[in-house]
Amino acid sequence: MRKKANKFKITKSFFIVIFLLHTVFYHCSCSSRSGVNEDPIGEEPDPSEKLTLTKTVPIGSNSWVVGNIAKDKDVISKDGIHNWQSLDDVINTFVRTGSGKLNVGLKMKSPDGSSKINVTIGGITKTIDIKNTNYEVVDVGTFDVTEGYVKIEIQGKEKADNYIGDLNEILFGGTAVATTLNFVPQSNDHFGRRGPSVHMSYKQPEARDVQWFYNEVTVAPGQDKLGTFFMTNGHSNGYFGMQVNSSTERRVLFSIWSAFETDDPTQIPEDYKVTNLGNGKGVTVQDFGNEGSGIQSFKNANWKAGTTYKFLLKGEPSSVTGSTDYTGYFFDPEIGEWELIASLRRPKTITYIKRAHSFLENFNPSTGNETRKVNYGNQWAYTTESNWVEMKEGKFTADATAANGDRFDYAGGSEGNSFYLKNCGFFDNNVTPNTSFSRTASGTAPNIDFSKLPKPTLPGPTKVVTLLNRSTWSIESYSTQEDKGGEGSTGRAADILDDNLETYWHSCWSAGCTATAPHTIVVNMGAEVKVEGLQFYQRQSLSRTIKTIEIETSSDKNTWTSLGSFTLEKSKSAQNVDFSAAKTFRYFKIIAKASHDGTENAALAEVKAYIY
C-alpha cells in the first residue's frame, strides 16, 4: 500500500508541474503578441512587428500605368501616384536589386481610410488595407528576389471614395538592397522614365572625305512602340530616321542643328540660321528647339514594321562660302524609288559627313516601360574619290541615364549582316557601353545612280491669303464644350469665332462631364461661299492642342463631303490647311480626332477661312 501511495503522489505532482508550466508559457506567449492569438507554425510573422525599411525610392519616377498612355499621364507624376480612380488600372514599379530578402513598404494614404490594394511581386500577391487618411508608411511584406530588375505590380481592389489612394514613395529593406538598389531619381524624372538612349557609331574610312552615307533599317513586328525614334543616318550636325508619333502617324524625320547653341530657335542670329534649299512633296519644314535648335523636315511615310527601308544622306561643303549642305533621301520598297525629304544648308560650317552613327531613343516617358529593338544593316560610305567603302565595325554606347546608373535596360551588338540596338522595358542582360562589334560584310555596294535622284529646288514664293468676313458665321452644333465652369469664362464652341486668341473651345471635363474623341463642331457661314482653305489657331497656352483634324463640308447639313485628315502642329501661330482646289459650301465640320498630349481632350482658339 505504501508503494502504491507513493506512486500516486509522484504522478499527481508531475501533472501539477506540467499544468503550471503550460499556464506560464501560455501567458508569456499572449503577452508578447499584444493580445493576438499565436499564429500556427509557418504563417505570416507577427503583424505588430514593423518591417525594416532602409531605402526610399520616388515611386512616380519609377512607375507606369500598364497599357494606357492617357491614364499614365493622368495618374503618374514625379511627385507620385495621384488621381488614381480605376480598379482596372495596373501600375508597375521597377527597381533593380541584388538577390535575397526584399522588404517592401508604401508611403501612402486613402481618402476615407477604407481602401484595399493588391501588391504582387514574383507571383506572390499581398492584399493591403489602407486605413490611414494621412501619409504613413504601410508595410507590404517580404519577398524573395534574384539579382536584376524587380517588378512591383499594384492594383486597387476596393474603394469607398472616388479615389483609391495616393502614393508618394516606395520603401525597401532587407538583404536584397544591402549593396544594390538602382532606380530613377526625381532629378532625372523625364529622361529616366523615357529610358536610356543607345547608339552605334560606325568606323568611317580613314583619311578620306565621306560625301554619302547609306544605311538600312528594319524594325521587327511588335518593336514599333509609340514614342520611338529609330535614328538611322546620324552625323556630327544632325540626324535622319523614322519615328512612331501616334497610332496614325509614322514620320520620316530629317533635322540639322544650327551652329548657334541654344534651345530657343527665336534666339538664333540670321547669319546662323539653317535654311531650306528644297523639300519633297508632303514634307513639312519648320524650326525646332528644346534639344538644341535648328530646322527639321518630316513627312508621314506610313512605314511598317517588318519592312526594310533605305536611307541616304549627302553632306558636302556648299557653293556658298562657309556653309555645308545636307540632303536626305528615303527609299520605301512599296514606292520603289528614292524620295527627297529635304536639302538643308548649315552656315558657319565647312565639312563632309563626320561621326556616322545610328541611335535608338524613346521620346515618350509614358512608354519607357516597353522594350523596343531595331536592326541597322549594310552600312556604306561613298567618298569624294567616287568609291563605296563598306562600314563593318561599330561601337556601342549609351547616354547619361545609363552612365549614371539610373537605368540598366540597354543593349547593342551585331547580328549577322546588321548591328542591333535595344532599350527600355527593364530587361536584364545588358551590354557594357563602349564595346566594339563587327558585322558580317555583304560585299555588295548600293546600286544608286546619283544623277537620277530628285533635285532640291528652292520653294516658290509664299501665297498671300485673304481672310473671309466672319460676321455672318455662327456655331450650328457641337458634340461637346466645357460650359460647367472648368475653364472659367471660356471653353464654349462659340469662342472659336470671337476674334480673341485668349478664349477657346474646350471639350467638357468638369463637374462629372467626360468627352471621348472624336469631337465635332459644325460652323454655319450663313450662305454658300467659295473657300480655298481654313486657318486654325491652337489654344495659346498649348494645352490640349489638336494634332489630327478632319474637315467635312456641306451645303444642306445632310450630305457631307470629307476633304481629308490634316495634321496641326503644337504651335501658337496661324496654321493654314489648303484644299486641293477651291470648294463652295455653307457648312463645315471640324472633327478633332487626336490631341498632342494623347488624351481624349481637345481645345481650339480660332478658326477662319481664306481665299488667295
What CATH number does residue 150 fall under?
2.60.120.260
> Which residue, 122, 91, 88, 96, is CA-closest to 106?
91
389 and 258 within one domain: yes
Cα 67–68–69 angle (5° rounding)?
115
| Boundary (domain end) residue, out of 452, 480, 502 | 452
* In a domain? residue 295: yes
Report the CATH number at residue 330.
2.60.120.200
* In a domain? residue 15: no
211 and 176 within one domain: no
* In a domain? residue 408: yes
Given this model, what pLDDT does residue 44 score? 47
409 and 434 within one domain: yes
Per-10-residue mean pLDDT, the chain, length 612? 37 41 39 32 52 96 95 94 95 98 96 92 95 94 97 95 94 97 96 97 96 98 97 98 93 96 92 94 90 92 95 94 96 94 96 98 97 98 97 98 97 97 97 97 95 85 85 97 95 97 96 93 97 96 94 96 92 89 96 93 97 92
What residue numbers bound the domain in which 227 lies?
A: 194-452
| Boundary (domain end) residue, out of 452, 484, 501 | 452
146: Cβ contacts below 8 Å, ≥ 6 apart: 99
229 and 173 within one domain: no
Contacts 24+ apart (CB under 8 A), 286-293: 286/569, 288/255, 289/262, 289/263, 289/264, 289/265, 290/263, 291/263, 292/257, 292/258, 292/261, 292/262, 292/263, 293/257, 293/258, 293/260, 293/262, 293/263, 293/264, 293/265, 293/267, 293/268
| Boundary (domain end) residue, out of 162, 183, 204 | 183
437 and 323 within one domain: yes
364 and 261 within one domain: yes
Q: Which residues pair with 330 in a beta bridge?
A: 311, 339
291 and 360 within one domain: yes
* In a domain? residue 207: yes
Give the sign of the dihedral formed by CA 12, CA 14, CA 15, CA 21: positive
602 and 474 within one domain: yes
* In a domain? residue 391: yes
Q: What is the CA 559 to chain-centroid distance, rounded? A: 40
Give the sign of the dihedral formed by CA 571, CA 576, CA 579, CA 583: positive
How many residues does this entry show for the chain? 612
Given this model, what pLDDT does residue 46 score? 55
Given this model, what pLDDT does residue 112 score? 87
559 and 599 within one domain: yes
Given this model, what pLDDT does residue 138 score? 94
CA 311 – CA 216 distance, rounded (Å): 6
* In a domain? residue 316: yes
565 and 435 within one domain: no
Our count of domains for the chain comes to: 3
> Which residue, 379, 386, 324, 389, is CA-closest to 357?
379
* In a domain? residue 40: no
Helix/strand/coil percentages in the chain, nearest 5: 10, 45, 45
* In a domain? residue 146: yes
432 and 409 within one domain: yes
156 and 203 within one domain: no
